Chains A and B, each alone.
Chain A
Amino acid sequence: MLVPISWLKDYVDIDVTVDELEKRLFDCGFEVEEKYEVGKDISKVVVGLVEECEPIPETHLHVCKVNVGTGENLQICCGADNVCTGKKFPVALEGATVYATAKDHVTIEGVMTIKKGKLRGYESFGMLCSGTELGVSEDMYPGAGYNGLLELPADAETGADVKTILGLDDYIFDISITANRPDCQSIFGIAREVAAILEKPLKEPNLSYTENGRAKEGFKVTVEAQDLCPRYIGHYVSDVKIGESPAWMKRRLALVGLKAISNIVDITNYILKELGQPMHAFDEDFLEGNAINVRRAKDGEKIVTLDEKEFTLNPSNLVICDGVKPVALAGIMGGLNSEIRDTTAGVVFEAAKFARDNIRKSSRALGQGSDSSARFTKGVDEYTTVMAMKRALHLVEELGCGKVSSTHVEVSSGNSIEPKEMKASLNKVNGVLGVDVPKADVERILKNLNFNPVINGDEITIQIPAYREDMEDYPDIAEEVIRMYGYDNVTCTFLETAKVTAGGLNTHQKAELKLKRALCTTGASEGMHYSFFSPTDLDLLRLPEDASERKTIRILNPINEDLSAMRTTLAPQMIRAMARNQKRGRMSGRIYEIGNRFIPKELPLTDYPKELSTLCVGVFGNNETFFTLKGIAEVVAESLCISFKYAAPEPKIPYLHPYQSAEILDAATGERVGYLGKVIYEIQDELDAREAMFVMEIDLSLLEKYYGNVTKFEPIPKFADESRDLALVMNRSVTCGEVEDAIKEACKYVKKVTLFDVYEGKQIADDKKSMAFTILFVPQEEEFTAEAVDGYVKKILKNLKNKLEIELRQ
Chain B
Amino acid sequence: MQDLNELRDSINSIKEEIVNGVKEVRNSKALYEFKKTFLDSKAGKINALMKEMKNIPNELKAEFGKNVNELKNWAGVKFDELDASMKEAEAKQRYEDEKIDITMPAVKCSCGKLHPVTLVKNQLIDIFASMGFDVYEGTEIENDYYNFTALNTPQDHPARDMQDTFYLSPQFLLRTQTSSGQIHVMENRKPPIKILSPGKVFRSDDDATHSPMFTQMEGLVVDKGITLRDLKGMLEVMVKRIFGEGTTTRLRPSYFPFTEPSVEVDVSCFECGGTGCRLCKGTGWIEVLGAGIVNKKVLENCNIDSNEYSGLAFGVGVERLAMLKYGINNIKLLYESDLRVLEQLDE
Interface residues of A (CB under 8 A from B): 26-29, 178-182, 355-357, 360, 377-379, 431-435, 473, 475-476, 478-479, 482-483, 487, 490-506, 509, 513, 516-517, 519-532, 553-559, 563, 566, 573-574, 577, 580-581, 584, 586, 589-593, 596, 598, 604-606, 608-609, 611
Contact B166 A558 (CB under 8 A): yes
- Measured between beta carbons, the chain B residues less than 8 angstroms from A591 are 337, 339, 342
Interface residue B176 (Cβ < 8 Å from any Cβ of A): no
Q: Residues of A contacting B161 with CB < 8 Å? A: 179, 360, 377-378
Which of B125, B132, B233 sits near A492, CB closer than 8 Å?
B233
The number of inter-chain residue pairs (CB within 8 angstroms) is: 263
Compute how far the CA of A519 lies from the CA of B162 in the bound complex, rounded to whole angstroms.
Answer: 39
Given contacts A178-B254, A525-B339, A526-B113, 6 further A-B contacts (CB under 8 A): A432-B310, A479-B262, A520-B111, A527-B115, A528-B117, A605-B169
The smallest beta-carbon distance between A273 and chain B, in angstroms, is 19
Q: Is the interface of B mostly helix, strand, loop or mixed?
A: mixed
B282 → A minimal CB distance (Å): 13
Residues of chain B with a CB closer than 8 A to A590's CB: 112
Is B255 a contact partner of A501 (Cβ separation < 8 A)? no
CB distance from B14 to the nearest CB of A (A): 45
Asked if B112 contacts A526 (CB within 8 A), the reply is yes
Q: Are B227 and A434 in contact (CB under 8 A)?
A: yes
Assembled-state Cα–Cα distance A495/B232 (Å)? 10
- Across the interface, A356 reaches (CB within 8 A) one of B156, B221, B339, namely B156
The docked-state distance in angstroms from the alpha carbon of A493 to that of B229 is 5
- Which residues of B are found within 8 Å of A513, using beta-carbon distances? 122
A528 near B133: Cβ-Cβ < 8 Å: no
**Complex Cα distance A482/B334, Å?**
39
Find the A residue at minimum CB distance from B133: A503
Q: Can you list the 9 inter-chain pairs with the closest CB atoms, starting with the nearest?
A: A434-B227, A29-B253, A527-B337, A357-B156, A492-B233, A178-B255, A479-B261, A434-B229, A497-B225
Residues A553 and B204 in contact, CB atoms below 8 Å apart = no
Please, which residues of chain A bring their CB within 8 A of the CB of B250?
487
A-B CB contact pairs (8 Å), 9 listed: A433-B228, A473-B260, A494-B230, A495-B230, A505-B125, A506-B134, A532-B213, A556-B169, A592-B112
Bitwise interface map of B from 328 to 346 toward A, beta carbon under 8 Å scored 1, else 0:
0000001111111011000
Closest Cβ–Cβ distance, residue B177 to chain A (whole Å) = 14
Q: Smallest Cβ distance from A743 to chain B, in angstroms? A: 34
Does chain A have a CB within 8 A of B57?
no
Bound Cα distance A307, B234 (Å)? 54
Distance between A336 CB and nearest chain B CB, rounded to angstroms: 28
B194 interfacial by beta-carbon distance below 8 Å? yes
Q: Which residue of B lies closest to A521 (CB)?
A: B111
Which residues in A have their C-beta under 8 angstroms from that of B340?
Answer: 584, 586
- A501-B192, A531-B202, A553-B168 known; A496 vs B230 contact (CB < 8 Å): yes
Bound CA–CA A25/B127 (angstroms): 34
- Complex: how many Å from CA A557 to CA B170? 11
B135 CB within 8 Å of chain A: yes
Distance from A177 Cβ to chain B, minimum over Cβ atoms (Å): 9
- Residues of chain A within 8 A (CB-CB) of B137 are 509
Chain A residues near B101 (CB, 8 Å)?
Answer: none
Q: Is the CB of B310 within 8 A of A431?
A: yes
> In the complex, are the beta carbons of B261 and A475 less than 8 A apart?
yes
Residues of A within 8 A of B117 (CB): 528
Contact bitstring B117-148, A, C-beta under 8 A = 1, else 0: 11000100100111111110101110100000
A101 CB to nearest chain B CB (Å): 32
Chain A residues positioned under 8 Å from B112 (CB to CB):
519-526, 590, 592
Task: Verify B226–A606 contact, CB threshold 8 A.
Answer: no
Q: Hey, which chain A residues are within 8 Å of B110, CB to CB?
A: 523
For the complex, give the distance between the alpha carbons of A386 and B253 in Å. Answer: 30
Residues of B within 8 A of A431 (CB): 225, 227, 310
Say whether B168 contacts A357, CB under 8 Å.
no
Closest A residue to B194 by beta carbon equals: A501
Within 8 A of A (CB), among B293-315: 293, 295-296, 310
A378: chain B residues at CB < 8 Å are 158, 161
State A357–B254 Cα separation when bound (angstroms): 23
The answer, yes or no, to whether B223 is at the interface (CB within 8 Å) is: yes
Chain B, residues 308-324, CB within 8 Å of chain A (1/0): the string is 00100000000000000
- How many Å lie between the Cα of A250 and that of B229 in the bound state? 49
Chain A proximity of B85: nearest CB distance (Å): 42
CB pair A528 B192 closer than 8 Å: no
Decide yes or no whether B79 CB sits under 8 A from chain A: no
Q: Beyond A179-B158, A490-B232, A555-B167, is A497–B140 a contact (Cβ under 8 Å)?
A: no
Q: Which residues of A contact B140 (CB under 8 A)?
A: 531, 596, 598, 611
Neighbour of B156 across the interface among A355, A529, A580, CB < 8 A: A355
Residues of chain B lying within 8 A (CB to CB) of residue A498 = 192, 194, 221, 223-226, 230
In this complex, the member of B128, B131, B227 whose beta carbon has the largest number of chain A beta carbons within 10 angstroms is B227
Q: How far is the CA of A494 from the CA of B131 in the complex (A)?
A: 10
A476-B227 contact given A356-B158, A377-B158, A584-B338, CB 8 Å threshold: no
Q: Which listed residue (A531, A553, A598, A608) contacts B143, Cβ 8 A?
A: A608
Interface string of B195-228 (1 = CB under 8 A from A): 0000010101010000011000000010111111
Contact of B167 among A28, A29, A556, A574 (CB under 8 A): A556
Q: Is the CB of A555 within 8 A of B174?
A: yes
A483 touching B115 by the CB < 8 A rule?
A: no
Q: Which of A483, A528, A604 contacts B169 (CB under 8 A)?
A: A604
* C-alpha gap A490/B251 in the complex (Å): 8
User: What is the CA–CA distance of A558 and B205 in the complex, to the nearest angstrom?
Assistant: 10
Are B213 and A531 within 8 A (Cβ)? yes
Closest CB in chain A relative to B263 CB, distance in Å: 7
Flag whether B114 is at the interface (Cβ < 8 A): yes
Chain B residues, CB < 8 A from A181? 255
Name the residue on A nearest B262 (C-beta): A479
B34 contacts the other chain (Cβ, under 8 Å)? no
Residue of A nearest to B153 (CB): A179
B172 proximal to A (CB < 8 A) = yes
CA distance in complex: A258, B167 (Å): 35
Closest to B260 in A: A475
Chain B residues contacting A611 (CB-CB under 8 Å) are 139-141
Q: Are B343 and A490 in contact (CB under 8 A)?
A: no
Contact of B86 with A by CB under 8 A: no
- Give the docked Cα–Cα distance between A604 and B133 (Å): 37
